[in-house]
Structure 1
């Protein structure tokens, strides 16, 4: 018991800071991924062929290459063309673009589930295409795709561990630093797993609350 309290006192603040880093990484990445995903999903439905091809290429490339390689391209590759990003910013951009491709497919499937007659009726009533999408189509799509968005958000949270490879001091890198000093991999990897479990459970509970909320609104 004394050993546990000592560890908590010595390493607890560092784990809290690392968990907060994971939290902010996840929030920022989710925002970027939803922007990228929505743009790509709408781009696939564009009347302009060039936009459709660009959206299709983005989804094809991201889904067909490893996430870690995408992180390396953003962090190590962009400086070769004069674009230098901090590890945190590069990580958010890489993970956001990665998740955005999957969000795009989720949104596309949700849009396909909405009967075309709804958009046609809205346009006939004088709604603009943008107003139709914002006020009529997207609220229904969100209700349909919310469980899938939750799964993607959980994957995004866990993928933040990849950013230890570019020196972002999140939970994994902090644990590796402690292991190098103490030679106690079991203890600290278990601690990291438990913290991730708490974070993913909190995210799942939030998503469940949102699902109930939307059901009450419908």
Structure 2
């Protein structure tokens, strides 16, 4: 235990890097998930096909190999990125590919009657998706998104392979210096577990906050506020 206390500043620095990877990776994952998920639903082949290829490639290959390719192979093509940027990008691309299917599945699960009602009211596809279908699908997405974020947190440990000074990298360094394998890696297990639990609580809070009954009331008010729609029908 004295070893952990002595090297606590180094572990703290690694933890901050891990949290940065988590936050930036999660934000970029959401952007990629909605972009690829909605593109996957497009009726246009030139939009749908690249999205499908992206999803299958990043879901079907190893994340550690993806990290090595972006860090070691991409510079051979004239594009060189720092290790931290590679870590954030690969984490987001990989997790975003999984989350894109979450987005697509949640939106596809909406009752067909909602789309038919929007068409009957003259609501266009973009407005229909942005104001009605996506907001109502968010509660269904949250549990799966929570799993994706927890998985992203755990996968941040892989970026140590491309020289990113995250928590795992710092732990490995301390272990090499002190030889205290059990104490160091037990500490890492506890830290990652605590972070995962905190993320789970955050997701559960979000599920309650965006509960379907609350979202339904909000969307009902939005629908009535759209141009051409009143409580008595269309105008």
Q: Give the structure-1-normalised TM-score.
A: 0.93
Match of 1:144 in 2: 140
CA RMSD after TM alignment:
1.4
Out of 46, 71, 92, the residue aligned to residue 75 of structure 1 is 71
1:89-108 matches, within 5 Å, as 89-108=85-104
Match of 1:135 in 2: 131
Match of 1:204 in 2: 200
Structure 1 unpaired stretches of 5+ = none
Q: How far has the Cα of 1:125 moved from its partner?
A: 2.6
Out of 84, 89, 98, the residue aligned to residue 88 of structure 1 is 84
Q: How far has the Cα of 1:163 moved from its partner?
A: 0.2
Q: Residue 79 of structure 2 aligns to a residue in which SS?
A: coil
Structure 2 unpaired stretches of 5+ = 216-235
Distance in 2, matches of 1:133 and 1:57, equals 23
Q: Is the 8 A contact 2:42 2:48 kept in 1?
A: yes
Q: How far has the Cα of 1:108 moved from its partner?
A: 1.2
Consecutive aligned runs of 4 or more in structure 1 exceeding 4 Å deviation: none
Match of 1:190 in 2: 186
Q: How far has the Cα of 1:17 moved from its partner?
A: 1.5
Match of 1:14 in 2: 10
Cα deviations by residue, 1:98-152 (Å, 9 ceiling, x for unpaired) = 0011001111110111023313322433433222212111111110111111011
Out of 96, 103, 112, the residue aligned to residue 108 of structure 2 is 112
Confirm or deny that 1:40 pairs with 2:46: no
Q: Is the 8 A contact 2:4 2:184 kept in 1?
A: no
Over alpha carbons, which structure has the higher Rg?
A: 2
| Structure with larger RCO (C-alpha < 8 A, sep 6+) | 2
Out of 191, 214, 217, the residue aligned to residue 214 of structure 2 is 217
Q: How far has the Cα of 1:9 moved from its partner?
A: 4.2
Q: Is the 8 A contact 2:4 2:183 kept in 1?
A: no
Looking at secondary structure, tell me which structure has more helix per residue: 1
Cα deviations by residue, 1:141-186 (Å, 9 ceiling, x for unpaired) = 1101111110110000000000010011111110110111111111
Q: Residue 47 of structure 1 aligns to a residue in which SS?
A: coil
1:116-127 matches, within 5 Å, as 116-127=112-123
Number of equivalenced pairs = 214
Match of 2:230 in 1: none
Q: Give the structure-2-normalised TM-score.
A: 0.87
Match of 2:228 in 1: none
